[in-house]
């Protein structure tokens, strides 16, 4: 299947393999350059070898640089993928806080134990060598005292004690004892094996050490005693060879001696390479060692060709290897390899050569353990049991800590995982999801808070939906109420009218209407319902319907309002109207008052102004049911208030309402309003009736809609940023 470049790029991006960052692009660029140069190197190498060599350096440099960048990118990718989960982060944190320090501590302990074990192994070897020297020193002191006593008596200078030692201890057959009386050697030296010793010039008292004499290593002790006018010097020597070291290695392990400047024989090299095989028996002659300069340090390293000892950048070859590495007593009985330099004294000069030779020891912990606790006997087994018990106790504590840490980690990560899953439910809009709480810690409190939050959000969403539903219903109610206000008004020739209502909320409790009673009569209605909102709007719709029904279609006509509102039982109105009588505003108010009183709660009432304008006579007949008195503003600025009427509508039953009549002169303005116009307050007080009158008076020549706009704008400026407190209703009429 062949993919186009966009498809391939999309698949690589989806798999996380497309280089998006600058470092990734640089790494790919360097890798590509290295590949191109490598191809050129191979191609040019066929023709010019020097070109291939020059390009090889650049290929290597670019490859290393690209590898480093890819390693950094791989580390970042692994960090993003692995450390995203909290559990992995906690595991990594525990590794850095607990595991790595513990591993380092264990490693340091093992290294320390290995060093101590190696030091103890070489200590055993050097202690045995010093023990051998002390034994030689004691025998040498006895021979010195015996020879001094014989020379004091003038007897033959012979050492009978030495002969006894040689009979009792076969090792004395390898040792050599020489004596000098002044500068004269005594015949005692010829009794031993080997060449005669030279007289040491530096022995002035007691002396014991490993010495180099005629390129041979020896254990040698010396004693110098004053005798008469001269001195007696006695020196005892034993070859430092395989036999001597083999006795030490018998119950320790494998011991190898290294010395510089000497070519080892094949047997010694073979034994060293074979890792501890016993050397073949051969000559026990002293080892020949070439003189060397003083060394400042040694290094022991193991390789495929055996162990190499380096002193002051000079390799010391193996001279011999004795003993064998013991078999392991268990899987933990590992090999211990350690070395130490031996102090060697030059026999001619008496100067110390500290690293003239090096001893390497290969052994096992069980062997060292037996040497260390050999004096304790059966008590050692008790110590072992105690240590084993302590180890088991620590292991149990570690296991308990691991279990507790794992459970606590799972508790934390499980709580975080539950919170993450819960947030995903919330992201999908599922606020009904709840986190199960099974503990009483801070994480449980966090889960409870999350559950409380989602429950509150779910409740708020339900309330929001309910609010949205109510707002939709209010919007419909607003549209319906807007249809109740007069949209097209049939203007009379002698009177122009205009009405405006702005609700404080979605719907209004204020009311105004213009009804055409005949070709020359117009009914003006302005009212204010107690309260705000839906209830006031419903009562306003009731009044609107009643006014239109009673005043236009089915209302009998009458002049005498005394006959209106006669009651014959609860809820029933007697309407016996004489014919030929015109509509009465007071009678309408009385009828509306009785209807509202019977059909609304006691706390619900309304203020209502009803006026009938006759275009022929220019008279306005009105009745005011508790509404703010409308005002007539003359051309000369004089005002007349229309106050005739009675109390509010719907609060008391059996109420009669007086009527009043005024003549409207041409240019005179009729002004009716609700308390939402005059009662708004700010820091300077209420807007007030006088301010309203002044604004209308100043703009009386303007069209009525423009006057209404100026008034409402003045009210808005007076309110400022505050919320509109009440419905604003304004009705204007101007006589022509």
pLDDT tens readout for residues 403-432: 887 787 777 778 788 888 888 888 888 888
Whether residue 517 sits in one domain with residue 404: no
- What CA–CA distances, in Å, run from 391 to 110, 387, 388? 15, 6, 5
Give tens-digit pLDDT for 94-121. 777 777 888 888 899 889 988 888 888 8
Instruction: Please give the residue range of the domain that contains residue 472.
Output: 378-484
Scan for tokens 């080997």, then name that residue: 194
Scan for tokens 């060709």, then name that residue: 305
Whether residue 651 sits in one domain with residue 696: yes
β-bridge pairing 728-735 and 660-663: unpaired
Rounded CA separation 327/364 (Å): 8
Rounded CA separation 130/164 (Å): 23
Helix and strand counts by DSSP (H, E) for the chain: 16, 25
Of 466, 484, 502, the residue that ends a domain is 484
Nearest CA among 497, 210, 189, 203 for reference residue 342: 210
Take residue 605 and report the two structure tokens written for it: 């009432």
Q: Does any domain span residue 17?
A: no
Whether residue 581 sits in one domain with residue 637: yes
- Contact between 309 and 298 under an 8 Å Cβ cutoff? The reply is yes
Q: Chain centroid to CA 435: how far?
A: 22
Whether residue 400 sits in one domain with residue 360: no
DSSP bridge pairs for 221: 208, 236
Question: What is the average pLDDT value for the chain, to the nearest integer?
Answer: 79
SS3 state of residue 112 = helix
Take residue 31 and report the two structure tokens written for it: 């890798």
Helix 242-249 / helix 100-153 crossing angle, nearest 10 deg: 130
Q: Does any domain span residue 3?
A: no
Give tens-digit pLDDT for 60-93. 888 888 889 888 888 877 777 776 777 777 777 7
Nearest CA among 642, 661, 651 for reference residue 584: 661
Total count of domains within the chain: 4
Half-sphere exposure of 421 (CA within 13 A, CB side): 12
Reading across the β-sheet that carries 728-735, which strands appear in turn?
A: 495-502, 728-735, 669-673, 631-633, 639-641
Sign of torsion over alpha carbons 712, 718, 720, 725: negative
Q: Does any domain span residue 4?
A: no
Please provide the size of the chain in residues: 736
Q: Does any domain span residue 7?
A: no
Whether residue 384 sits in one domain with residue 368: no
Whether residue 414 sits in one domain with residue 365: no
State the CB neighbour count (10 A cutoff) for residue 30.
Answer: 20
State the CB neighbour count (10 A cutoff) for residue 41.
Answer: 18
* pLDDT value of residue 624: 93
E strands present in 486-550? 495-502, 510-516, 521-529
pTM over 0.85: no
Of 357, 372, 387, the residue that ends a domain is 372
The contacts of residue 9 (CB under 8 Å, 6+ apart) are 18
DSSP bridge pairs for 336: 363
Rounded CA separation 410/520 (Å): 91
Half-sphere exposure of 478 (CA within 13 A, CB side): 14
Rounded CA separation 1/8 (Å): 11
Whether residue 333 sits in one domain with residue 242: yes
Whether residue 559 sits in one domain with residue 508: yes
In order, the DSSP letters of 286-301 are PPB----PPP--EEEE
* pLDDT value of residue 291: 40
Q: Does any domain span residue 15?
A: no
Whether residue 261 sits in one domain with residue 144: yes
* pLDDT value of residue 599: 85
Angle, CA 351 vertex, CA 345 and CA 356 arms, to 5°: 45
* pLDDT value of residue 631: 93
SS3 state of residue 302 = strand
* pLDDT value of residue 439: 75
The DSSP output letter for 11 is H
Nearest CA among 36, 340, 347 for reference residue 210: 347
SS3 state of residue 334 = coil
State the CB neighbour count (10 A cutoff) for residue 221.
Answer: 26
SS3 state of residue 180 = strand
Whether residue 567 sits in one domain with residue 622: yes
- Contact between 605 and 648 under an 8 Å Cβ cutoff? The reply is yes
Q: Does any domain span residue 278?
A: yes
The DSSP output letter for 606 is E
Of 372, 403, 422, the residue that ends a domain is 372
Whether residue 145 sits in one domain with residue 47: no
- What CA–CA distances, in Å, run from 423 to 229, 420, 427, 433? 109, 5, 6, 9
Q: Let me know if 497 is exposed, middle or buried by CB neighbors in 10 A (0-12, 13-18, 19+).
A: buried
Q: Does any domain span residue 13?
A: no
* pLDDT value of residue 497: 92
Whether residue 480 sits in one domain with residue 594: no
Sign of torsion over alpha carbons 583, 586, 588, 591: negative
Residues of the chain falling short of pLDDT 50 = 192, 261-263, 265-296, 553-581
* pLDDT value of residue 10: 64
* pLDDT value of residue 582: 60
Rounded CA separation 493/486 (Å): 19
SS3 state of residue 721 = coil
Q: Where are the alpha helices (DSSP H) in 311-441?
A: 365-372, 379-427
Q: Does any domain span residue 1?
A: no
Take residue 693 and report the two structure tokens written for it: 């009158």
Take residue 317 and report the two structure tokens written for it: 């070859």
573 φ/ψ angles, rounded to the nearest 5 degrees: -110, 130
- Contact between 274 and 281 under an 8 Å Cβ cutoff? The reply is no
Give tens-digit pLDDT for 594-628. 888 888 888 888 999 999 999 888 999 999 999 99
Give tens-digit pLDDT for 360-405. 999 998 888 887 776 666 666 777 788 889 989 988 987 888 788 7
pLDDT more than 90, % of the chain: 15
Take residue 431 and report the two structure tokens written for it: 């606020």
Q: Chain centroid to CA 424: how far?
A: 20
């Amino acid at each position: 299947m062949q993919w186009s470049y966009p498809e391939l790029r999309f698949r690589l991006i989806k798999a996380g393999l497309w280089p998006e960052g600058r470092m990734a692009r640089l790494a790919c660029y360097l890798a590509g350059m290295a590949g191109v140069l490598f191809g050129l190197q191979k191609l040019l190498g066929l023709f010019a070898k020097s070109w291939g060599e020059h390009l090889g350096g650049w290929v290597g440099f670019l490859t290393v640089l690209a590898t480093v960048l890819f390693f950094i990118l791989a580390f970042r990718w692994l960090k993003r993928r692995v450390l995203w989960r909290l559990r992995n982060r906690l595991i990594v944190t525990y590794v850095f806080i607990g595991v790595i320090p513990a591993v380092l501590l264990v490693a340091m302990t093992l290294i320390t134990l290995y060093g101590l074990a190696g030091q103890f192994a070489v200590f055993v070897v050097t202690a045995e060598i010093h023990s051998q020297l002390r034994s030689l020193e004691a025998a040498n002191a006895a021979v010195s005292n015996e020879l001094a006593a014989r020379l004091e008596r003038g007897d033959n200078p012979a050492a009978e004690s030495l002969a006894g030692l040689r009979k009792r201890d076969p090792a004395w057959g390898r040792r050599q004892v020489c004596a000098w009386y002044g500068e004269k050697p005594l015949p005692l030296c010829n009794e031993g094996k080997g060449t005669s010793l030279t007289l040491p010039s530096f022995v002035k008292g007691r002396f014991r050490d490993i010495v180099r004499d005629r390129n041979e290593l020896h254990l040698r002790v010396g004693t110098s005693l004053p005798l008469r006018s001269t001195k007696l010097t006695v020196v005892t020597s034993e070859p430092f060879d395989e036999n001597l070291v083999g006795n030490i290695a018998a119950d320790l392990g494998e011991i190898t001696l290294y010395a510089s400047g000497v070519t080892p024989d094949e047997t010694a090299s073979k034994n060293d390479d074979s890792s501890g095989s016993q050397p073949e028996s051969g000559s026990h002659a002293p080892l020949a060692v070439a003189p060397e300069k003083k060394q400042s340090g040694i290094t022991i390293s193991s390789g495929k060709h055996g162990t190499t000892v380096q002193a002051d950048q000079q390799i010391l070859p193996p001279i011999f290897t004795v003993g064998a590495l013991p078999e392991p007593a268990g899987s933990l009985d590992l090999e211990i390899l350690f070395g130490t330099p031996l102090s060697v004294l030059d026999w001619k000069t008496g100067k110390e050569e500290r690293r003239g030779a090096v001893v390497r020891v290969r052994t096992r912990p069980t062997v060292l353990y037996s040497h260390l606790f050999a004096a304790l006997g059966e008590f050692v087994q008790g110590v072992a049991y105690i240590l084993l018990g302590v180890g088991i106790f620590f292991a149990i504590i570690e296991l308990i800590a691991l279990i507790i840490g794992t459970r606590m980690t799972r508790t934390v990560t499980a709580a975080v995982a539950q919170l993450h899953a819960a947030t995903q439910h919330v992201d999908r809009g599922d606020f009904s999801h709840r986190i199960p709480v099974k503990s009483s810690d801070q994480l449980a409190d966090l889960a409870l808070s999350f559950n409380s939050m989602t429950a509150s959000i779910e409740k708020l969403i339900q309330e929001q939906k309910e609010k949205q539903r109510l707002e939709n219903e209010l919007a419909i109610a607003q549209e319906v109420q807007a249809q109740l206000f007069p949209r097209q008004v049939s203007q009379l020739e002698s009177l122009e009218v205009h009405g405006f209502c702005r609700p404080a909320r979605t719907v209004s409790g204020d009311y105004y209407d213009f009804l055409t009673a005949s070709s020359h009569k117009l009914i003006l209605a302005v009212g204010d319902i107690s309260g705000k909102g839906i209830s006031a709007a419903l009562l306003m719709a009731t009044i609107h319907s009643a006014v239109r029904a009673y005043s236009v279609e089915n209302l009998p006509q009458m002049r005498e309002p005394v006959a209106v509102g006669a009651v014959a039982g609860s809820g029933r109105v007697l309407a016996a109207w004489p014919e030929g009588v015109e509509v009465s505003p007071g009678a309408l108010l009385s009828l509306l008052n009785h209807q509202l009183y019977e059909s609304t709660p006691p706390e619900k009432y309304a203020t209502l102004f009803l006026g009938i304008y006759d275009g022929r006579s220019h008279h306005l007949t009105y009745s005011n049911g508790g509404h703010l008195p409308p005002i007539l503003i003359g051309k000369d600025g004089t005002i007349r208030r229309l106050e005739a009427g009675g109390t509010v509508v719907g609060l008391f039953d059996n109420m009669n309402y007086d009527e009043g009549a005024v003549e409207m002169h041409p240019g005179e303005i009729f002004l009716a309003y609700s308390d939402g116009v005059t009662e708004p307050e700010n820091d300077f007080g209420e807007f007030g009736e006088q301010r309203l009158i002044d604004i209308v008076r100043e703009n009386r020549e303007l069209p009525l809609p423009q006057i209404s706009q100026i008034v409402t704008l003045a009210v808005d400026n007076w309110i400022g940023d505050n919320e509109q407190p009440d419905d604003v209703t304004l009705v204007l009429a101007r006589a022509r």
